[in-house]
Amino acid sequence: MPAERLVVIGGVAAGMSAASRARRLNPRMEIVVLEKGDYVSYGTCGLTYLVSGVVRRPEDLIVYTPEFFRRERDVDVRTGHEVVEIVPGKKEVEVRAADSTYALKYDKLVLAAGGAPATSIPGVERPCVFTCNDLRGALALRDFLLARRPRRGVVIGGGYIGLEAAEALRAHDVDVTVLERSDTLLEGLEPEIGFWVNERLARHGIRAILNAAVNCVEPGLDESVQVVYGPRQELTAEVVVLTTGVAPRVELAARAGVELGSTGAIRTDDRQQTNLPSVYAAGDCAETTHLVTGGPVYVPLGTTANKQGRVAGENAAGGNARFPGVVGTLVTKVFGLEVAKTGLSQEAARAAGFSAEAVTIEARSRARYLGGQPLRATLVVDRESGRLLGGQLAGEEGAARRIDVLATALAARMTLSDFVHLDLGYAPPFGPVYDPLLTAAWEALKKIGRRR
């Protein structure tokens, strides 16, 4: 009997994790990864650092090469091979490569096609408009910045990639404006945290305009464009970066009968299995469960993609792993300011039906006599149950890693009265004697009337 064949569609984060995991569990399985791009297994979250010049060579972002996977893990990685059709009835995929098309049978299939820049803005096909979602896009943007030295730039979208892209443009001396369609940067930042982010951007000469939905990008004088937003405002720019988020790549899957969820991404169970037998999905093409709301959510992030990929790969190889879901943790750096959030914002928590309250405190990252820096922490809690629902942090230092304590507490469904007595580490170089998170929890207990 021939070995089972696992076919993986997509070789960036989830796909390579799935292939590696399957190989570890099943040394005999034949594993083929079909990646339509030129690279596999690279740090997508480092792309803006490539644009800014902090990372000099694209090779530095590449974790493993196709050769590594072939040699060390016996995984047949085929870059430049695009799947154009999935035929579940025949258990095969149709593949188009540079100089051939072919059909490939599968016993197990992992869908890990990722996401694509999401936008419906007319005019973004112009040559000075870039995305920063993959290595090819980031390299094109970097080369453009170096070759053309644009003076004025517009970043469309104020999420974390937008702010990182703005900082990268600034490193090339571009005068930058960020246009964000909603009323907050970084999707749901609480006002006190958002204030610090705005302040930091302004200090570095970046304008962030909120409630600024972009209508279109029109040709301007010479090689510039006009970015038209709001009722009838416009900005002139020689370079535009489009960071309006990611949409799951699902056309192929949907056409083959794979069920999508309410988020528009592929629905799976907690084993990452789709509605079709032997077909799994992982990464930016799939939705997952939000552990605070219990509902489905689409949060395309490399770290989640890797975890889901491992689970999909393990199950495809005959194992029985489960991925419980996410709490929506995000960390980023805005010109040195650490910004972190997890769980639900107060607004999101209320929208989800919680009687949510938010409390913000300002503390220090460590003992004052050892140069502690200001740190802000917001906790979002449920007034009825005392349950923690989310939190945000910002500060010069000590914000990013502290969010993980909240992420852990959210996964454990802790209440404030559990949380307030946590035995967190204390030493003067690392924090004040009451950790800012515990101080925030005390204040929140006071606010909700010390229910336990």
Per-residue tokens: 182? 């909603």
Which residue of 198, 274, 329, 346 would you call a contact of a second copy, by CB under 8 A? 329
- CA angle, 186 as apex, 291 and 192 as ends, to 5°? 95
Looking at the Cβ atoms of 58 and 88, the one nearer to a second copy is: 58
Per-residue tokens: 125? 């096909």
Q: How far is the CB of 18 from a second copy (least distance, A)?
A: 15
Question: Rounded to an integer, what is the distance from CA 229 to the centroid of its chain?
Answer: 26
CB 35 within 8 A of CB 11: yes
**Taking CB under 8 A as the rule, does residue 421 contact a second copy?**
yes
**Taking CB under 8 A as the rule, does residue 423 contact a second copy?**
yes
The rounded radius of gyration (Å) of the Cα atoms in the chain is 23
Q: In terms of Cα–Cα distance, which of 316, 300, 323, 311 is closest to 249?
A: 300
Which residue of 34, 301, 344, 448 would you call a contact of a second copy, by CB under 8 A? 301
**Taking CB under 8 A as the rule, does residue 324 contact a second copy?**
yes
Q: How far is the CB of 19 from a second copy (least distance, A)?
A: 16
Which residue of 30, 37, 43, 118 would you call a contact of a second copy, by CB under 8 A? 43
Phi and psi at residue 337, to the nearest 5°? -80, 120
**Taking CB under 8 A as the rule, does residue 298 contact a second copy?**
no
Q: Which stretch binds a second copy (CB under 8 A): 28-36, 95-103, 196-204, 327-335?
A: 327-335
Q: Which stretch binds a second copy (CB under 8 A): 120-128, 213-221, 271-279, 336-344?
A: 336-344
Q: How far is the CB of 61 from a second copy (least distance, A)?
A: 7
**Taking CB under 8 A as the rule, does residue 302 contact a second copy?**
yes
Task: Write out the binding residues for a second copy, residues 12-31 only, by CB under 8 A.
Answer: 13
Q: How far is the CB of 291 from a second copy (least distance, A)?
A: 8
Q: What is the DSSP letter of 293?
A: T
* Sequence letter at residue 430: F
Question: Rounded to an integer, what is the distance from CA 225 to the centroid of its chain?
Answer: 29
Which residues are 297's β-sheet partners? 288
Q: State how beta strands 337-343 and 388-395 pair.
A: antiparallel
Looking at the Cβ atoms of 149 and 413, the one nearer to a second copy is: 413
**Taking CB under 8 A as the rule, does residue 307 contact a second copy?**
yes
Task: Write out the binding residues for a second copy, residues 358-417 only, by CB under 8 A.
Answer: 367-370, 398, 400-405, 407-409, 411-412, 414
Measured distance CA(426)–CA(441) in Å, rounded: 17
**Taking CB under 8 A as the rule, does residue 68 contact a second copy?**
no
Q: Which stretch binds a second copy (CB under 8 A): 123-131, 171-179, 271-279, 423-431?
A: 423-431
**Taking CB under 8 A as the rule, does residue 9 contact a second copy?**
no
CB 37 within 8 A of CB 136: yes
Long-range contacts of 264-273 (CB under 8 A, 24+ apart): 264/298, 265/298, 266/111, 267/296, 270/322, 270/323, 270/324, 270/325, 271/311, 271/315, 271/320, 271/321, 271/322, 271/323, 272/308, 272/311, 272/312, 272/315, 272/323, 273/315
**Taking CB under 8 A as the rule, does residue 64 contact a second copy?**
no
**Taking CB under 8 A as the rule, does residue 287 contact a second copy?**
no
**Taking CB under 8 A as the rule, does residue 449 contact a second copy?**
no
**Taking CB under 8 A as the rule, does residue 109 contact a second copy?**
no
CB 69 within 8 A of CB 75: yes
Q: Which stretch binds a second copy (CB under 8 A): 41-49, 144-152, 217-225, 260-268?
A: 41-49
**Taking CB under 8 A as the rule, does residue 11 contact a second copy?**
no
**Taking CB under 8 A as the rule, does residue 323 contact a second copy?**
yes
Measured distance CA(225)–CA(346) in Å, rounded: 38
Which residue of 435, 436, 439, 444 would you call a contact of a second copy, by CB under 8 A? 435
Phi and psi at residue 340, to the nearest 5°? -145, 145
Which residue of 65, 137, 424, 451 would you call a contact of a second copy, by CB under 8 A? 424
- Count of CB atoms situated within 10 Å of the CB of 352: 15
Query: Is there a catalytic annotation at residue 128?
Result: no
Measured distance CA(59)–CA(216) in Å, rounded: 35
Question: Cβ contacts of residue 222 below 8 Å, gap of 6+?
Answer: none
Catalytic residue among 45, 128, 132, 216: 45
Looking at the Cβ atoms of 86 and 448, the one nearer to a second copy is: 448
Which residues contact a second copy by CB under 8 A?
A: 13, 43, 45-46, 49, 54-55, 60-61, 160, 291, 301-304, 306-307, 323-333, 338, 340, 342, 367-370, 398, 400-405, 407-409, 411-412, 414, 418, 421-431, 433-435
Residues catalogued as catalytic: 45
